[in-house]
Amino acid sequence: MSVLDSKVPEGPIKDKWTTYKDKINLVNPANKRHIDIIVVGTGLAGGSAAATLAELGYNVKAFAYQDSPRRAHSIAAQGGINAAKNYMGDGDSTYRLFYDTVKGGDYRSREANVHRLAEVSGNIIDQCVAQGVPFARDYGGLLDNRSFGGVLVSRTFYAKGQTGQQLLLGCYSAMNRQIARGKIDMYNRHEMLDVVKVDGKARGIIARDLITGEIERHSAHAVVIATGGYGNVYFLSTNAMGSNATAAWKIHKKGAFFANPCFTQIHPTCIPRSGDYQSKLTLMSESLRNDGRIWVPAKLEDAKAIQEGRLKPTELAEEDRDYYLERRYPAFGNLVPRDVASRAAKERCDAGYGVNATGEAVYLDFAAAFVRYGSEQAKIKGLKNASKEEIIKLGQEIIEQKYGNLFQMYEKIIAENPYETPMMIYPATHYTMGGVWVDYNLMTTVDGLYCIGEANFSDHGANRLGASALMQGLADGYFVLPYTIGDYLADDIRTGPISTETKEFDEVEKEVKDKIDFFINNNGTKSVDHFHKRLGKVMWDKVGMSRNEKDLKEAMVEIKAIREEFWKEVKVPGDANEMNPELEKAGRVADFLELGELFAKDALIRNESCGGHFREESVELDGEQKGEAKRNDKDFAFVSAWEYKGEPADAVLHKEELEFKDIELKQRSYK
């Protein structure tokens, strides 16, 4: 028997969560005052958890590396948040949301967790509205909805293009109320550098005050990690610059298994990289694909001319363009899911058809939409003899109403007017579906150590549908963890305060300090970013969207070599006892250099194409799906959970077999 116990309750899926809640142990309100909980990370998951745990009466210590919880990267989510409210009367239900999420995740998520997510989704909206989140309303004053990729109902709630920001400000305000009451001690500009275990249980953390450099000990009865994803392992991603894997990686090294590290979402509509200095990729909303047509030149010589600036896209005749998504996937066309669109773009660019100087971009063209909308407007306005220019202008006005802010953002970054020339887009690393393994209680393989939000693995499978990340973060923080953690803490009501003056704290603090001293005193020759960029290049070239055995094996060797060189050659100027952003980066990159290798190792054993991950050895060989990604349920319907054993290459694999009792596993087809 595997050491992994998912603790999924027995019984029919629709009753699991209710009966579970009815039966778990509770902590009496008077006893909650004697229990401390540490929450690391204060984005949607951590912020909502901290606020709710404090509301329930626990003493919460919350940690954020920024100056305020309001800056967590949850803030950058644009599109919206899903909830099965069926306000639109289009047949939405808990079951449909559950079904869409499991299918969208390519059948690699845990059924029971996803069903619970769907169950609490409606309550999230109620909660946020009560906090004053200004969701979009219709003219009758009721909440408005829109539709997102991969689903057939309208269940996405939104606040302009800033839904993530508004939801985060909602839970930030709930936190502020608890900070004012003294129920949350907020540690801004603090970074967790390790976890402390006492008698096998998580009992505290070692943190660094990023302003003074002081190393601090903090104890608690339980520790919650909510530090987001590890997409920055690619160096270039849509993640914030400071987003890092340190907390998740450090708990992995202390016994928490790391699940499905190779599951990463590559988002198809990002603004392409323009040069080697680039620090960051910017996401454009997926909604653009509703009206834009994606193409590259059909002939290599035209692509070359465009790359060299000798030819403009608008000069290329219709028959010389290759609308490759419409060609390959006539049924879904430009609206295929994110994984399919991303892979197809990379395939064309790798074949030499890319359209910018780096050869890593495809066109997203609105010219046809201008004409389509313009002709409609001309009819509505009764303009019978409108010229082509007039029609285009009318169409542009409609597109501006729909996507004006995105067009403006594009123009600011690229300095080209997307109304006059097609936009350029390219896939980029966006969201990580892998993460720390947790059971149904959201507890890791270490007692008393919890992991929520993007930092855990359970809900999104191999691919994430739009508008489901915000839902998971808030579900975990507001409605799931506050229940499940009580079941564990019920045993701690007589424990009393946990001392930080113990040998366990001494030891971990020493490890942390030694590492910092090493960085400050190492007389290397190369900057932290130098190594991070090299790691990112290996990850993108060999462990990116398209993978094969040979490349993955090479990647593991190369990453190890970069890591060894890093520990010899890294240079960190400045002092340990002061604010030192280079030192912060050094610790984070050191962790990415280990995580990257485990990532490649996980990709190597998963010899199937799944979600956004195209395994070149796993392709449909004939029939209608010829050439498309081939998932292998017989051999790979499991969660890979890695146990740390020193070097990432030595990690031991544990498998949690995934059971699909309520949903039939099917091939996804978009032809």
Partner 1 sequence: MNLTLKIWRQKGPQDKGKMVDYKVSDISEHMSFLEMMDVLNEQLVNSGEEPVAFDHDCREGICGMCSLHINGEAHGPDRGITTCQLHMRMFKDGDTITIEPWRAKAFPVIKDLIVDRMAFERIQQAGGYISVNTSGNTQDANALPISKHNADEAMDAAACIGCGACVASCKNSSAMLFVGAKVSQFALLPQGQVEAADRVKNMVAQMDLEGFGNCTNTGACEVECPKGISLENIARMNRELVKASLIKF
DSSP-assigned states of every residue in 342-399: HHHHHHHHHTT---STTS--EEEE-HHHHHHHHHHHHHHTT-TT--HHHHHHHHHHHH
Nearer to partner 1, 126 or 617 (CB): 126
Shortest separation between residue 131's beta carbon and partner 1, angstroms? 6
Q: Which two tokens stand for residue 3?
A: 């050491």
DSSP-assigned states of every residue in 26-75: ---HHHHTT-EEEEE--SHHHHHHHHHHHHHT-EEEEE-SSS-GGGSGGG
Nearer to partner 1, 99 or 518 (CB): 518
The three-state (H, E, C) secondary structure of 201-214, written as one string: EEEEEEEEECCCCC
Which of 578, 616, 617, 657 is close enough to bind partner 1 by CB under 8 A? 578
Could you say whether residue 242 binds partner 1 (CB under 8 A)?
A: yes
Query: Between residue 256 and residue 275, which ones bind partner 1 under the rule CB under 8 A?
Result: 274-275
Closest of 176, 425, 179 to residue 285, by C-alpha? 425
Could you say whether residue 64 binds partner 1 (CB under 8 A)?
A: no
338 flagged as catalytic: yes
- How far from each other are the two terminal CA atoms of the chain, in whole angstroms? 41
* Distance (Å, whole) CA 167 – CA 641: 31
* Distance (Å, whole) CA 363 – CA 633: 35
Nearer to partner 1, 275 or 309 (CB): 275
Nearer to partner 1, 187 or 614 (CB): 187
The three-state (H, E, C) secondary structure of 155-172, written as one string: CEECCCCCHHHHHHHHHH
Q: Which string of x and - marks every residue 398-437 that binds partner 1 (by CB under 8 A)? A: -----------x--xx-x----------------------
Nearer to partner 1, 556 or 590 (CB): 590
Shortest separation between residue 175's beta carbon and partner 1, angstroms? 8
Q: Pairing relation of β-strands 156-157 and 81-82?
A: antiparallel
Could you say whether residue 26 binds partner 1 (CB under 8 A)?
A: no
Q: One-letter amino acid identity for 406?
A: L
Which of 255, 574, 625, 630 is close enough to bind partner 1 by CB under 8 A? 574
Shortest separation between residue 562's beta carbon and partner 1, angstroms? 18
Nearer to partner 1, 406 or 543 (CB): 406
User: For partner 1, which stretch binds (CB under 8 A), given 359-367, 570-578, 598-606, 613-621?
Assistant: 570-578
Number of residues that bind partner 1 (CB under 8 A): 82
Could you say whether residue 75 binds partner 1 (CB under 8 A)?
A: yes
* Distance (Å, whole) CA 440 – CA 454: 15
Nearer to partner 1, 88 or 493 (CB): 88
Q: Which residues of 532-560 are buried (b: 16+ CB within 10 A; e: fewer)?
A: bbbbbebbbebbbbbbbeebbeebbebbb
User: For partner 1, which stretch binds (CB under 8 A), given 286-294, 475-483, 487-495, 588-596?
Assistant: 475-483
User: For partner 1, which stretch binds (CB under 8 A), given 370-378, 499-507, 524-532, 661-669?
Assistant: 524-532
User: For partner 1, which stretch binds (CB under 8 A), given 238-246, 261-269, 609-617, 624-632?
Assistant: 238-246
Query: Between residue 207 and residue 226, which ones bind partner 1 under the rule CB under 8 A?
Result: 211
Question: Contact 162/60 with Cβ under 8 angstroms?
Answer: no
Chain position carrying tokens 């005050």? 209
Query: Between residue 123 and residue 182, which ones bind partner 1 under the rule CB under 8 A?
Result: 123, 125-132, 134-143, 159-160, 162, 165-166, 169, 171-174, 176-177, 179-180
User: For partner 1, which stretch binds (CB under 8 A), given 303-311, 390-398, 526-534, 602-610?
Assistant: 526-534
Query: Between residue 529 and residue 568, which ones bind partner 1 under the rule CB under 8 A?
Result: 529
Given the residues 96, 208, 338, 631, select the one marked as catalytic.
Answer: 338
Shortest separation between residue 539's beta carbon and partner 1, angstroms? 20
Shortest separation between residue 18's beta carbon and partner 1, angstroms? 14
Closest of 153, 146, 424 to residue 272, by C-alpha? 424
* Distance (Å, whole) CA 345 – CA 618: 19
* Distance (Å, whole) CA 283 – CA 77: 10
- Strand, coil or helix: what is 430? strand
Tell me which residues are annotated as active site. Answer: 338
